[in-house]
Structure 1
């Protein structure tokens, strides 16, 4: 059961607090036995069993659950029995990061203690989910490590997650402290299932060593991190079980995944180095690749065959987001991608600038015989950062004898260029003999746009209607065309 945010209870008087909790637990309270004799002035919720009350508290955020324990002695011990905990440093006030971490660490020790103020110290407690989001702080890391080690040693914890960020700018020093922390708390790190690190600097082999030290780690996110020495980040973990890697603004020359055999998903966002951003080695289980970037002037387009490995024969989903700037991939002959794309089922080509020709996107259709859906996201935003690469059209000549049997769905967002979109769809309909549905949808605004007004929305919808009429007039095709 995941923790969910709830309405703060501390600002309500006791009677309204109980009413608020009662509203949140209507379905649970229906299971209350009808033969309980409740007095006129008695608290109805507090008569419920601990099991049901814990079900209520696990549906609100942790601060609200703790505050609920202050309402009466009946609730006081309940936060110490929660089996799903998410403790976030952002919930604790403090004039400085040090004071905030003092409050965070104190609350963590109290909530994770085996004996609560009103509970039986001999009773067993299983913490199934433990998520801790905190700052790097040398004075608190040992306390966090020891406390968590005690929990994972005595509990069958299914999910243990650390989200660690940096309160200051000295990335190198804190990167060394983090690696020292991971080595000194080996039991804790062996049990980690998810790890997110932000604003840290690593040595050449630190990331590989970290993954190898975390036996249960299946998800690693490195956000705004970098290598101490500007070089390639090389990850060689042939025995690890890691399944998902995310790199967000990671500073290095490139990322090389030498051997990560259990890896299923890779997401690379905003790489500030030359293309290609990732070079895949032995990644036999790879299923899902996302590359998201606004190309800079020094980043030249690259071929996907230079990036993806021939061992990635199970790739089923590919997401490329161009940030409404230059198209940073080069279409290539199907034979170069045939082994990699043989199981590719879904392609998302997002953030294409309005003037971009669309026919180049069909090189994926030629190389992927199992492809079932293509999604194109076009955008008319005219804002271009000064350092962006020049927007140019991509040229691709489709094979005349191409006949695709498995494509079922074509989805296009942003159809303001009626002729361009109509010609493209006709091209797809001629080649994709199994096509069942075409969805034509409006354009979504980006962060740099104003909200699309109603008048513009109506004009765009009229344009989509004209596209549909142009495609269906005099046609015997059974393809369903949907306007949203």
Structure 2
């Protein structure tokens, strides 16, 4: 009886994994007390149910249950999915400030000494000191979290029964610093030899964010990763997912070495990665199904032979060649997202050159509130064959205040289009606002593009939905909705959303005054302007940004 009471008290003292899990524990415990059952009801459940419960908790909460009894101590080692992330293990602010008091003192003293002879104001001295202290604390917290990842990985995998349940998912997220990556790599590699591991994932982070990294930082991180990779080659050979950020490799063929070594990869992501010299990256992989290349410095990316590729993201190229992306054998490519900041010297890209070897059904094009980099094309037999599979097109962050007639070429070129999304919005938080820097970096001041359809009586028979985010009752937007409704004879719904809320732009005034119809009277007037002289059965919905429909949410990410 005493042992049961201790187990119950231990269960109540566990960290709260979730409201649902906590309420279930309390309800079962209360039932035991009412019925006078000397055995707790949870522990009487079979192992597979208990493991299923633990599988729904984070790894820390699941590990804490091992203190309940000898039987419970074995259960965390049976959980089929192990996700351990340094981000989740970062110490709380209170613990960090207490445990690093000495670090704060030393950092403050060092900054004060460096600035003692500098001609800076007291306010600037305080600001710089606070920034240095914050950075030192953040670095210390990441070091602690990294060590916790390595320790938890080794501990949990060491307790698993080699003849027990297979590992369906082994996902590790850690920072590229100290000895933690190699420790995690060896532990995961041993697990791959000992157990059946269906999916193994590495997310490799760096201490600095992308915008903070200098070239020296990129080189340093790249060298660290190469050492890590060479030390744990067998582990990388078994990975099914790999995400890398902020790396520059001295050897131009190292990215190809990753592809050759990681033969089981199904998902691969690069953010701000490149080589010292500009290269043409040729991608050939038998298993890869998802590929993401964002802010990477490659002269050209050729997806030559990836027979299982279904999704690809390609954003922000810096190549002087156009187009910077080409496809070879990608028969299953279904979803493609391409974005760029168009500069004045960039040549406009014809979509037919991107897609002529693909069967893409869902296409996302991003413009980052700058120059339109897509070249409108007139419908030809060849163009029609290129776009014959397209069903959904999403145009993101079109700059405000420019004529939208050019987007009609998509309707004319894509006869099977069913859903057409558009977001017309300027983001001051992401745009280069300094006029001198805009001129120096050759940003285009005229961001629009002119196009006139050669087919004045064009009709589209498949489009059923038109969705516009950040709609305004300006003449160019109202006219564009009219054009689409007139051409799309079977259009069912038109969703016109208010301006989206950008967390980073929250405290910045919009560059232009917004004119979304707020009142029913204003909406009636706008609908009258849209429908005037058009025979359309489409329903027009005016929606606030707080009531975005579930099926539209994924299109604004």
Which position in structure 2 is the counterpart of 1:3? Answer: none
Which position in structure 2 is the counterpart of 1:390? Answer: 445
State how 1:54-453 maps to structure 2 within 5 Å. 54-71=51-68, 73-90=70-87, 91=89, 95=140, 100-115=145-160, 124-137=164-177, 139-167=179-207, 170-179=217-226, 181-202=228-249, 203-229=251-277, 231-237=278-284, 239-274=285-320, 276=322, 278-282=324-328, 283-306=330-353, 308-312=354-358, 314-335=359-380, 337-379=383-425, 384-385=431-432, 386=434, 387=438, 388-398=443-453, 399-446=455-502, 447-450=504-507
| Cα distance between partner residues in 1 of 2:526 and 2:517 | 14
Structure with higher helix content: 2
| Cα distance between partner residues in 2 of 1:200 and 1:284 | 31
Q: Secondary structure at the match of 1:128?
A: strand
Which position in structure 2 is the counterpart of 1:48? Answer: 45
| Cα distance between partner residues in 2 of 1:358 and 1:271 | 25
Q: 1:473 Cα shift?
A: 5.5
| Cα distance between partner residues in 2 of 1:212 and 1:309 | 26
Q: Deviations over 1:93-121 (max 9, x none)?
A: 58376554433222211101145xxxxx5
Q: 1:348 Cα shift?
A: 0.6
Classify 1:48/1:26 alpha carbon distance in 2 versus 1 (closer, same or farther; 3 Å): farther
| Cα distance between partner residues in 2 of 1:53 and 1:366 | 57
Classify 1:48/1:22 alpha carbon distance in 2 versus 1 (closer, same or farther; 3 Å): farther
Q: Deviations over 1:159-213 (max 9, x none)?
A: 2110012337643354345345445544422321110001112332222221222
Residue ranges of structure 2 left out of the alignment (5+ in a row): 1-8, 92-138, 209-215, 544-557
Which position in structure 2 is the counterpart of 1:7? Answer: none
Q: 1:351 Cα shift?
A: 0.9
| Cα distance between partner residues in 2 of 1:155 and 1:299 | 51
| Cα distance between partner residues in 1 of 2:518 and 2:199 | 50
| Cα distance between partner residues in 2 of 1:99 and 1:443 | 42
| Cα distance between partner residues in 2 of 1:216 and 1:126 | 18
Which position in structure 2 is the counterpart of 1:4? Answer: none
Contact 2:289 2:309 in 1 (8 A): yes
Q: 1:425 Cα shift?
A: 2.2
Contact 2:465 2:494 in 1 (8 A): yes
Tell me which moved more, 422-431 or 166-175. Answer: 166-175
**TM (normalized to structure 2)?**
0.73
**TM (normalized to structure 1)?**
0.83
Contact 1:87 1:108 in 2 (8 A): yes
| Cα distance between partner residues in 2 of 1:391 and 1:339 | 32
| Cα distance between partner residues in 2 of 1:129 and 1:304 | 38
Tell me which moved more, 316-325 or 411-420. Answer: 411-420
Q: Secondary structure at the match of 1:145?
A: helix
| Cα distance between partner residues in 2 of 1:18 and 1:103 | 17
Classify 1:422/1:162 alpha carbon distance in 2 versus 1 (closer, same or farther; 3 Å): same
| Cα distance between partner residues in 2 of 1:162 and 1:19 | 27
Q: 1:298 Cα shift?
A: 4.6
Residue 479 (1) aligns with residue 527 (2):
no
Residue ranges of structure 1 left out of the alignment (5+ in a row): 1-11, 116-120
Q: Deviations over 1:65-108 (max 9, x none)?
A: 22333355553332222111111123155837655443322221
